[in-house]
């Protein structure tokens, strides 16, 4: 059944990884390869606990948990090199119907933003790859705010840049950390679930979909 709240929103804020592009597998593989190259075993379950957070947040915890000798920035650089090799090999994998949904939302009058923990360069590359850069009013990276998801900073910054109150924003998120951030921001959150990955706790969302065609949008008034 359609949830009436969705019909009164003015803006849609997209997470990127796991919502616009299927990239979680590349980050997971890169983190796993980096930690294992240092002689440590690391589980995918442990890595998935950081989905939705910034690289800095992730590696601060990994460095502490595994007593690694270098600063997080050293491992982030090496991880990103490994991740880039995976992307060059496989290409950017976009989710079905995401482009059509973005176009429909824009045509129906929604203001659109991306608010991702990923670097700004990755966000720009993704929206350009989707041929969707003309539809977005702003792009916000976790690099630009003080606190990583699950803090609400990146979503609140996006709402501020859009000139829209938080309660008038829909957020689409795939992770526990991201959905908690949206909830803390006072925004209406739709969970996007990809069944090929371990199931994230999306109990902070209002509803969960696995197909963008299941999100109905009304004209913004």
Topology of the domain comprising 24-90: DNA polymerase; domain 1 (1.10.150)
Angle at 202 between CA 201 and CA 204, to 5 degrees: 120
The tens digit of pLDDT for each residue in 109-129 reads 999 999 999 999 999 999 999
The tens digit of pLDDT for each residue in 121-162 reads 999 999 999 999 999 999 999 999 999 999 999 999 999 999
Strands, E assignment, the chain: 11-14, 111-116, 138-141, 169-173, 188-192, 207-209
The tens digit of pLDDT for each residue in 53-95 reads 889 999 999 999 999 999 999 999 999 999 999 989 998 899 9
Instruction: List the chain domain ranges.
Output: 4-23+93-214, 24-90
Q: Could you give the CA distance from residue 7 to residue 89 in angstroms, rounded to a whole number? A: 41
Topology of the domain comprising 4-23+93-214: Rossmann fold (3.40.50)
Q: Could you give the CA distance from residue 119 to residue 99 in angstroms, rounded to a whole number? A: 21
Model pTM?
Answer: 0.86
- pLDDT at 6 > cutoff 70: no
- 206 alpha carbon, distance to own chain's centre: 17
- pLDDT at 202 > cutoff 90: yes
């Amino acid at each position: 059944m359609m949830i009436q709240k969705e019909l009164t929103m003015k803006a849609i804020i997209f997470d990127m990884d796991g919502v616009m592009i299927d990239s979680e597998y590349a980050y997971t593989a890169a983190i796993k390869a980096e930690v294992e190259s240092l002689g440590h075993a690391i589980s995918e379950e442990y890595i998935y606990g950081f989905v939705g957070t910034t690289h800095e947040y992730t590696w601060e915890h990994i460095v502490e948990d595994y007593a690694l000798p270098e600063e997080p920035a050293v491992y982030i650089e090496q991880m990103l090199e490994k991740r880039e090799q995976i992307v060059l090999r496989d290409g950017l994998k976009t989710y079905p119907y995401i482009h059509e949904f973005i176009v429909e939302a824009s045509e129906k009058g929604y203001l659109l933003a991306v608010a991702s923990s990923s670097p700004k360069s990755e966000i720009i590359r993704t929206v350009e790859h989707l041929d969707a850069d003309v539809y977005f009013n702003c792009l916000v990276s976790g690099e630009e705010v003080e606190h990583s998801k699950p803090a609400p900073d990146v979503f609140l910054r996006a709402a501020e840049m859009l000139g829209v109150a938080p309660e008038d924003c829909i957020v689409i998120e795939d992770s526990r950390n991201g959905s908690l951030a949206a909830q803390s921001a006072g925004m209406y959150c739709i969970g996007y679930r990809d069944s090929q990955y371990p199931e994230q706790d999306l109990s902070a969302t209002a509803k969960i979909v696995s197909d963008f065609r299941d999100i109905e949008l009304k004209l913004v008034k």
